Structure 1
Amino acid sequence: MKSVNLQRTESLLMELVPEALSTLKDSRINSLSITDVDCKNGKYDATVYYDGTDYTKEEHKVLNSLLNKANGHIKSYCLNATGWYKCPNFKFKADDTLEHSMKMEALFEQIKSKKED
């Protein structure tokens, strides 16, 4: 179970990271949908998950490199907005939970159809 402070930090970063991305000029990342933020080691490391269902693997690589380049801007935006003296190191990953759940649903449908036969 995560502490209340860690959950607060995650929810605050869920709001601030999309705001920071929207201030960027690059249209490939300024409208990315952030689905989750997972903080580790207090405020020292944070994994930011973005909706990656519409992108190919090559596009994921490009997006990750663009997001890593924008990491400094995102950190400074979060520091200015919160007044923190330290901001987490952001790692960006595509959120593929929707794809996994769709595969699971398809498997359950196959099992259901085989049981009915």
Structure 2
Amino acid sequence: VLDMLGPGDRDDDIALLAARFDGIAPSDVAYWSLDPEDAAPGRARRLARRALDRWGLDDLSDEMELLVSEVVTNAVRYAERPVTLRLLRTDTLRCEVGDDSPQLPRQRRARETDEGGRGL
């Protein structure tokens, strides 16, 4: 490790921390790439439902479909390149959506005059 760091004065102690992560089994990961088109949310819902059925988590399908629909719709709305959807089954069920938008999400509150809310 010191050879990789290259030459230099090191007047202080040096510590090396190594951690090992075995990862998540491939059978517990579902990953898709979706074109940013109007049909993407519907396709994402169907794919998520099938994954939950395979994992024996079909009792969570309704809630997951709503979540997937909301986040994929939002991502597709602003994306120009394919949107990614990934479900991870660990001690919790995680849903991740990625897009090419450089803006980070920010929470907003609906006003009394707004006809729609702010989704999930």
TM-score (norm: length of structure 2): 0.29
Rg: which structure is higher? 2
TM-score (norm: length of structure 1): 0.29
Q: Relative to total residues, which structure has the larger helix share, 1 or 2?
A: 1
